[in-house]
């Protein structure tokens, strides 16, 4: 059970994702975590639990220097090192990156696993 990312490209990728976190301070009750490295053809699980009906945000970029990204309009500071922070947290080495919104369908039977194919 969980949220997975599959790398369907021919280059390495690194991924950040965000999930609901009611204990985070401020008005944005979301936590963000990264970086998950995924080799070409591989899949990584970033979140464990029932995916059915949940909302997530994510950002991915290639590690080859080609500049390819999967991004969106929800901007938050992201550092270059491994981290797990609340949405509004940043640091002097952070970049403001736009994450893409993902709404997993709420259906019956419920969705246990949800995979995002990055291609």
- pLDDT for position 1: 87
User: Does 90 map to a domain?
Assistant: yes
| Residue from 2, 116, 98 nearest 54 by CA | 2
- What pLDDT is recorded for position 104? 97
Q: What is the pTM of this model?
A: 0.95
pLDDT of residue 78: 99
In a domain, 116, yes or no: no
d(CA 118, CA 70): 8
State which residues form the domain around 10. Answer: 2-109
Q: What is the pLDDT of residue 89?
A: 97
> Which DSSP helix (H) or strand (E) runs through 77?
strand 74-78
Question: Is residue 18 included in any domain, yes or no?
Answer: yes
The C-alpha angle 79, 74, 52, rounded to 5 degrees, equals: 100
| Among 37, 38, 48, 41, CA closest to 3 | 48
Cα–Cα dist 100/33, whole Å: 14
Q: Name the domain count of the chain.
A: 1
The reply to whether 118 falls in a domain is no
Does 40 map to a domain?
yes
pLDDT < 50 positions in the chain: none
Residues 6+ apart with CB under 8 A from 52: 104, 105, 106, 107, 110, 111, 112
Q: Is residue 24 part of a domain?
A: yes
């Amino acid at each position: 059970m969980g949220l997975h990312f599959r790398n369907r490209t021919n280059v390495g990728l690194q991924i950040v994702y965000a999930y609901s976190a009611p204990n985070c301070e401020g008005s944005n009750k979301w936590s963000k975590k990264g970086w998950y490295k995924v080799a070409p053809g591989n899949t990584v699980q970033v979140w464990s639990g029932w995916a059915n009906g949940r909302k997530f945000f994510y950002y991915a970029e290639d590690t080859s220097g080609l500049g390819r990204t999967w991004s969106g309009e929800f901007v938050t500071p992201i550092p270059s090192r491994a981290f797990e922070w609340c949405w509004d947290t940043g640091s002097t080495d952070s970049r403001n990156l736009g994450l893409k919104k993902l709404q997993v369908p709420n259906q019956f039977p419920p969705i246990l696993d949800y995979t995002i194919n990055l291609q």
